[in-house]
Chain A
Amino acid sequence: MKPSKAKAGGQAARPMSPHLQVYRPQLTSVLSIFHRLTGVFLASGAAMLCWWLLAAAAGPDYYADAMWFLTSWVGYALLFAWTFSLFYHLCNGVRHLFWDVGMGLSMRATYASGALMVGAAMGLTGLSWAIGLAVYFS
């Protein structure tokens, strides 16, 4: 650790956390980064939900416009990504809540719950879309 030097503002230059890119990726850190990424991406989904609801309230014509976008290829791709992100953020959020009460904090448990969480998120996404597509094509 370098000795801290005084900065211009009179604040001590304390050692900073090492930069992310010098670390070898681990399952735990990668899952944590994805939690934040899915969170940010879900914000765009919330905006879409807002547009969709307003359109539905404004009447069938406006609703048709929103549905035109949602049922385009871009719309379907976004819906798929939003579905996965929602399940991922939800499952990993539950994992965080367990940590908050002090459960599952050992190295082994964090790796096991991480793998379980990714499996659950993928499974729920697959199930949602399998049912959706089955209904769509029936």
Chain B
Amino acid sequence: MRIETPLARVRGLGSAKEGTEHWWMQRLTAILLVPLGLWFVSGIWWLVMQGASHDAVVDWMRGPVTATLFILFAATTFYHLKLGMQVVIEDYVHNKKMKWTMLIGLSLGCFIAGASCVYSVLAIALRG
């Protein structure tokens, strides 16, 4: 029989060190996404006014400022999305296998989707 408390058992195992990382990065990406999100919506507005044709998209993304902001927006969005969805999965999925499958899928999915967005913006901006 163990007579130590759970706290005593945990002591000496070292600190988590990055305990605030998730919370902090969620706030940082949130702050970034305020201007980037508004910029994105106004960009879509402008695009709709141009008829949202393929030419209009290419014209828009050819600008270095647009391309850079779009890449920033996409990367920040998928980072923020990963952090948020991770908490949702951790809160509601209690089956261990299912939970880890979903968490790994989420991470990989966000990397793949983020990379696809970055590639697409560069491809449109550089090649048209």
Indicate whether A and B interact.
Answer: yes
Let me know if A53 and B121 touch, CB within 8 A: yes
Q: Which residues of B contact A94 (CB under 8 A)?
A: 34
Type the 1/0 row for A36-54, where 1 means its CB is closer than 8 Å to any CB of B. Answer: 1001101100110110011
Type the 1/0 row for B1-45, where 1 means its CB is closer than 8 Å to any CB of A. Answer: 010001000000000000000000001001101100110010001
Type the 1/0 row for B61-80, where 1 means its CB is closer than 8 Å to any CB of A. Answer: 10000000000001001100
The answer, yes or no, to whether A32 is at the interface (CB within 8 Å) is no
Contact partner of A10 (CB less than 8 A), chosen from B2, B41, B74, B119, is B2
The answer, yes or no, to whether A67 is at the interface (CB within 8 Å) is yes
Let me know if A132 and B48 touch, CB within 8 A: yes
The answer, yes or no, to whether A56 is at the interface (CB within 8 Å) is yes
The answer, yes or no, to whether B49 is at the interface (CB within 8 Å) is yes
Q: How far is the CA of A136 from the CA of B45 in the complex (A)?
A: 11
Whether A53 contacts B88 in the complex (CB less than 8 A), given A43-B81, A63-B57, A135-B48, comes out as: no
Q: How far is the CA of A39 from the CA of B57 in the complex (A)?
A: 26
Max count, chain B CB within 10 A of own CB: residue among A57, A63, A94, A100: A57
The answer, yes or no, to whether B124 is at the interface (CB within 8 Å) is yes
The answer, yes or no, to whether B108 is at the interface (CB within 8 Å) is no
Task: Say how far A101's CB is from chain B's closest CB, in angstroms.
Answer: 10
Contact partner of A40 (CB less than 8 A), chosen from B85, B116, B123, is B85
Let me know if A93 and B120 touch, CB within 8 A: no
Q: Which residues of A contact B33 (CB under 8 A)?
A: 90, 93
Let me know if A56 and B2 touch, CB within 8 A: no
Let me know if B120 and A54 touch, CB within 8 A: yes
Q: How far is the CA of A42 from the CA of B41 in the complex (A)?
A: 14
The answer, yes or no, to whether B113 is at the interface (CB within 8 Å) is yes
Let me know if A131 and B45 touch, CB within 8 A: yes
Known: A53-B74, A54-B120; 7 extra A-B contacts, CB below 8 A, are A40-B85, A43-B85, A49-B117, A50-B113, A86-B41, A90-B34, A136-B48
